[in-house]
Amino acid sequence: MPPPVQRDQELELTIESLAFGGNGVARLDLGEGRGFVVFVRAGLPGDTVRARITKVQRRHAEAITTEVLAAGSLRVEAPCEHYPACGGCRFQDLDYAAQVATKQQWVADSLQRLAGLVDFPLEPIVPAASQFHYRNKMEYSFTQEEDGATLGLHRAGRWDEVLEIRKCWLTTDLGNAIRNRMREWAREEKLPAYSQETQEGYLRHLVVREGRNTGQALVQLVTARGERFDRERLIEVLTEFPEVRSIHWSVNRGVSEVTNLPTELIWGEDAIEEEIDGLRFRVRPNAFMQTNTEMASQLYGLAREFAGLQGGETVYDLYCGIGTIGLSMAAEALTVWGVEISEESVACAIENQELNSIGNAAFFAGNVGEVLRELRERSGQPDVVVVDPPRAGLAGKALKRLGEIGAPKIVYVSCNPTTLAGDAKRLADVYGYKLTRARPVDMFPHTPHVECVSLLERDPNFVYVEPERSAVVRGRSSGAGPVADPRPAA
- As annotated, the active-site residues are 415
Q: Is residue 44 a contact partner of residue 94, using CB atoms and an 8 Å limit?
A: yes
# chain residues binding ligand SAM, by CB under 6 A: 19
**How many Å apart are CA 55 and CA 116, to the nearest integer?**
30
Instruction: Determine if 414 is a binding residue for ligand SAM (CB under 6 A).
Output: no
Instruction: Determine if 260 is a binding residue for ligand SAM (CB under 6 A).
Output: no
DSSP letters for 59-79: SEEEEEEEEEEE--TTB----
Instruction: Determine if 330 is a binding residue for ligand SAM (CB under 6 A).
Output: no
Q: Is residue 409 a contact partner of residue 381, using CB atoms and an 8 Å limit?
A: no
Instruction: Determine if 367 is a binding residue for ligand SAM (CB under 6 A).
Output: yes
Q: Which of 339, 350, 428, 443 binds ligand SAM (CB under 6 A)?
A: 339
**How many Å apart are CA 383 and CA 273, to the nearest integer?**
31
Q: How far is the CB of 169 from ligand SAM (least distance, A)?
A: 24
Q: Is residue 356 a contact partner of residue 280, using CB atoms and an 8 Å limit?
A: yes
Instruction: Determine if 321 is a binding residue for ligand SAM (CB under 6 A).
Output: yes
Judging by beta carbons within 10 Å of its beta carbon (0-12, 13-18, 19+), is residue 223 exposed, middle or buried? Answer: buried
Nearer to ligand SAM, 262 or 390 (CB): 390
Q: How far is the CB of 272 from ligand SAM (least distance, A)?
A: 15
Instruction: Determine if 388 is a binding residue for ligand SAM (CB under 6 A).
Output: yes
**How many Å apart are CA 6 and CA 188, to the nearest integer?**
50
DSSP letters for 239-291: TTSTTEEEEEEEE--SSS-------EEEEE-S-EEEEETTEEEEE-TTS---S
Of the listed pieces 80-88, 158-166, 336-344, 430-438, which binds ligand SAM according to CB under 6 A? 336-344
Nearer to ligand SAM, 20 or 281 (CB): 281
Q: How far is the CB of 343 from ligand SAM (least distance, A)?
A: 10
Nearer to ligand SAM, 145 or 343 (CB): 343
- Which one-letter DSSP state was computed for residue 364? E
**How many Å apart are CA 148 and CA 192, to the nearest integer?**
7
Q: How far is the CB of 387 from ligand SAM (least distance, A)?
A: 9
Nearer to ligand SAM, 136 or 171 (CB): 136
**String of contacts with ligand SAM for each residue 280-299, x by CB under 6 A:** --------xxx---------
- Helix, coil or strand: residue 305: helix
Q: How far is the CB of 223 from ligand SAM (least distance, A)?
A: 25
The CA-atom distances, in angstroms, between 170 and each of 119, 280, 447 are: 37, 24, 10
Q: How far is the CB of 409 from ligand SAM (least distance, A)?
A: 17
**String of contacts with ligand SAM for each residue 439-478, x by CB under 6 A:** ----------------------------------------
User: What are residue 17's DSSP bridge partners?
Assistant: 25
345 sits in the region (left: phi over 0; alpha: psi -120 to 50; else beta) called alpha
Q: Which of 110, 143, 328, 342 binds ligand SAM (CB under 6 A)?
A: 342
Binding footprint of ligand SAM on the chain (CB under 6 A): 288-290, 319-321, 324-325, 339-342, 345, 367-368, 388-390, 415
